[in-house]
Chain A
Amino acid sequence: MPNKKRIYYFDHAATTYVDLQVKKVMEPFWCTKFANPSALYASALEVNGVLNDARRSVAQILQALPDNIIFTGGGTESDNLAVLGIARKHKLHGRHIITTKIEHHAVLHSVEQLKNEGFEVTYLEPDSQGFISPKRVFAAIRTNTILVSIMYANNEIGTVEPIADVGKEILKYRKINNTIYPYFHTDACQAAGVLELSVEKLHVDLMTLNGSKIYGPKGVGVLYKRRGAEIQPLIFGGGQEMNLRSGTENIPGIVGLAKALELAQENRLDENMRLVDLRNYFWEQVYKKIEKVRLNGPDLGNESVRLPNNLNFSILDIEGEALLLYLDAKGICCSTGSACTSTSLEPSHVLLACGLPYEYAHGSLRFTLGHCNTKADIDYVMKYLPGIVKRLREISPINLQFDPKKNTHAKIHQR
């Protein structure tokens, strides 16, 4: 990782640096092998071959067919293409969509748009740790439901959703009712480097991936789309990507994404174990050295319940942005669910959906670990964090009563 003045990077769920092996495989496609893969001369055919290799490589990891793989301009575009694409293509069958309150905005704002176009949306509530119940998905399906979109793993609190079980419930519904609906989409951007991505085992019809969370390049993503699940494109033009995503292919990006996904999946089990240990050590230290802290999201466990690299906790009586700025002054990068860093002035929709009171959400911090982090980095954070908390508590007039076991809080503090 590049470092002039040493920074301590704990925001891998926001984005990652590009792995040097990934950078290396991208290198020839900037200035040397730059031809448009749609052209007919030899150098273009070579690039076209590289594009197909990348498609095959991604398909293999997903246990899918190469023509199931659509390369896009990133995770947001893939989510938009899945949600808007299915809805607009199948609106004559029905105009009802099911999603959750804790999705990424790429999904939430897409379904908001669909509401303007006359669709109805059911937002499933998570439990206090962010889990969505497969049974409740089944119960929410109506005869006019055309799409269910549920993320594989949550970016803020790391909850790993039971996607395979949701998939089974949807298959069950289709079988009982003898229908092809609803389609099932999952946003797997956060899960891609951590969890198994077999679409066969997950029973998904569409799946979003992107490069910038798995040590690959930014501005490139994948939408897996099962053969037979028809979608309407968002971008029209030269007919690239099976007519579903026009525009000259971002070859360096696609090659980089394919390599990054390959590396991530190859190393994920060892890396998961390392990150679980580090993350758990981090939380032990926080819990030991700082009073009035509360873990947000699932109990710390392995990657089947919570992303191994995710630590999200609330520090009471102080506000997240202020914490972030003091940490930044020490070269520490992390993020918060506080309203002050959002554009809406509302705190994290994910924490609120999990039943966290506003004042807890305002004081939340998220650390997401990655390749570059070591135990020494965590010790560095713990050298400063308790002092910063003490300082901000001196400045603050708040003294909340605190029960760490409770999710909710005395009524007067609630909305």
Chain B
Amino acid sequence: MSKIQKQTIHGRDGSGTAWLYSDIVKEHFFNPKNLLINGQEENYQADGMGRVGSPACGDEMVIWIKVDKKTEKIKECKWQTFGCGSAIASTSMLSVMVTEKGGMTLEKALKIKPQDIMKRLGGLPVRKIHCSVLGDKALRAAINDYFRSTGQHSRIITEGAKIVDEKLKITDHDIEEAVLEGAKTLVDVQKRLKVGVATPEAIPEIEQLIRFYSEKYYGT
């Protein structure tokens, strides 16, 4: 499993067109970087830890960071991921992005978006983005955890948006985006976000948000 795999990996998206993973995705999938092997986390002295997702949703990610307290740069970023090829590759890529060139400042790291990770991966199949790129959310949770453990409570950032699905850390902004992309019903939104799969109690609120944004943008 040491070489970049040459075979293309096929699948099909919702519209029936084929997709395949880029060579960069495959490299990170077959040779993950900065992995913290399951079982070794107990001996790893992290400054912050963040976890998102759940196995029921099909994706779960945990990120550990070590921070240089003076420069506020991320010295180490370790991770574990349960999920598909793109979930594993995107977390691996994120860990490289925040630690390369002497490490990224916390301020910058907090601003990483799924799109930034995707760009570095050379793109992902469209329907894979929402569900598998959760790494940025796990990283923000880890940075908040660092702020908490160092007593910098004022710096803890509750996501600008309101979280509607606790397990997946999906926010009302995510729902808004899904509606803008054409989702009209709960089923449509779930096709994109899997929201509410692990947290059925969130469904009424999600449905309300769908109605709200549908009215806002489409007047229906």
Residues of chain A touching chain B, judged by Cβ–Cβ distance below 8 Å, are 317-322, 325-326, 328-329, 338-341, 343-347, 357-359, 362, 391, 393-400, 413-415
Contact = CB atoms under 8 A, between A and B. Distances in A.
Interface residues of B, number: 44
Interface string B26-49: 000110100101110100000000
A396 B12 CA distance: 25
Contact of B62 (A318, A338, A397): A397
B190 A345 contact: yes
Contacts of A321: 84-85
Given A344-B191, A397-B61, A415 B197 contact: yes
Interface stretch (B52-60, B150-158, B173-181): B52-60
A58 B132 CA distance: 47
Contacts of A393: 38
A133 to B, nearest CB: 28
Given A340-B131, A358-B197, 14 more contacts: A322-B83, A322-B84, A326-B1, A329-B30, A343-B13, A345-B194, A346-B197, A358-B57, A397-B61, A397-B81, A399-B38, A413-B55, A414-B56, A415-B198
A328 B62 contact: no
Nearest to B57: A358
Contacts of B85: 321-322, 325, 340
Contacts of B39: 394
Interface string B64-91: 0000000000000000111111011000
Taking each of B41, B55, B87, B88, which has the highest tally of chain A beta carbons within 10 Å of its own beta carbon?
B55
Contact of A395 (B1, B59, B80, B192): B80
Contacts of B81: 395-397
13 contacts: A317-B55, A322-B29, A322-B84, A325-B9, A345-B127, A345-B190, A347-B58, A395-B35, A395-B37, A395-B82, A398-B60, A413-B56, A415-B200
B9 A328 contact: yes
B51 interface: yes
Interface in B125-147: 127-128, 131-132
Contacts of A317: 55, 82
B5 interface: yes
A319 B9 contact: no
Contacts of A413: 55-56
Contacts of A391: 1
A393 B131 CA distance: 20
B216 to A, nearest CB: 25
Contact of B58 (A325, A326, A338, A396): A338
A200 to B, nearest CB: 40
A339 B37 CA distance: 25
**Nearest 7 CB-CB pairs, A to B?**
A340-B84, A359-B55, A397-B80, A321-B84, A358-B56, A396-B82, A397-B62
Interface string B180-194: 000000000011101
B38 A395 contact: yes
Contacts of A329: 1, 5, 7, 30
Contact of A396 (B80, B127, B191, B198): B80
A23 to B, nearest CB: 25
Nearest to B187: A344
Contacts of A414: 56
A396 B58 CA distance: 12
B88 A395 contact: yes
A55 to B, nearest CB: 33
Given A325-B85, A359-B56, A397 B9 contact: no
A332 B162 CA distance: 44
B12 A343 contact: yes
B107 to A, nearest CB: 27
Contacts of B80: 395-397
A415 B203 CA distance: 13
A319 B83 contact: yes
A328 B7 contact: yes
Contacts of A359: 55-56
B14 interface: yes
B122 interface: no
B11 interface: yes
A394 B38 contact: yes
B127 A343 contact: yes
A319 B5 CA distance: 20
Contacts of B59: 319
Given A325-B85, A329-B5, A345-B194, A394 B58 contact: no
Given A319-B82, A395-B35, A325 B62 contact: no
A22 to B, nearest CB: 26
Nearest to A358: B56
B83 to A, nearest CB: 5
Interface string B9-30: 1011110000000000000011
A338 B60 CA distance: 14
Contacts of A415: 56, 197-198, 200
Taking each of A317, A339, A347, A357, which has the highest tally of chain B beta carbons within 10 Å of its own beta carbon?
A339
Contacts of A400: 55
